[in-house]
Amino acid sequence: MTSRSELKKLSEESLTRQPEEVFDIICKLGEG
Protein backbone atom coordinates (compact mmCIF):
# COMPACT_ATOMS: atom_id res chain seq x y z
CA MET A 1 0.00 0.00 0.00
CA THR A 2 1.52 3.29 -1.07
CA SER A 3 1.28 6.39 1.08
CA ARG A 4 -0.32 9.62 -0.08
CA SER A 5 3.08 11.33 -0.37
CA GLU A 6 4.35 8.52 -2.60
CA LEU A 7 1.25 8.74 -4.79
CA LYS A 8 1.67 12.51 -5.07
CA LYS A 9 5.32 12.09 -6.02
CA LEU A 10 4.41 9.41 -8.56
CA SER A 11 1.72 11.60 -10.12
CA GLU A 12 4.15 14.52 -10.39
CA GLU A 13 6.76 12.30 -12.03
CA SER A 14 4.14 10.90 -14.40
CA LEU A 15 3.57 14.39 -15.81
CA THR A 16 7.08 14.26 -17.28
CA ARG A 17 6.71 10.75 -18.67
CA GLN A 18 5.03 9.37 -21.77
CA PRO A 19 1.32 8.49 -21.22
CA GLU A 20 1.93 4.92 -22.35
CA GLU A 21 4.66 4.48 -19.74
CA VAL A 22 2.48 5.99 -17.03
CA PHE A 23 -0.39 3.68 -17.95
CA ASP A 24 1.93 0.67 -17.78
CA ILE A 25 3.17 1.71 -14.33
CA ILE A 26 -0.39 2.21 -13.07
CA CYS A 27 -1.33 -1.25 -14.36
CA LYS A 28 1.63 -2.79 -12.52
CA LEU A 29 0.66 -0.96 -9.32
CA GLY A 30 -2.89 -2.25 -9.69
CA GLU A 31 -1.64 -5.81 -9.99
CA GLY A 32 0.59 -5.46 -6.93
Residue 1: its pLDDT value, please? Answer: 61
Query: CA angle, 20 as apex, 16 and 24 as ends, to 5°?
Result: 105
Exposure string (b/e) for 7-25, b if CB count within 10 Å is 16 or more?
eeeeeeeeeeeeeeebeee
Looking at the whole model, is its pTM more than 0.75? no
Residue 19: its pLDDT value, please? Answer: 81
pLDDT per position as a tens digit, 17-27: 778 887 888 88
28 vs 19: which has the higher pLDDT: 28
> What rounded mean pLDDT belongs to the chain?
79
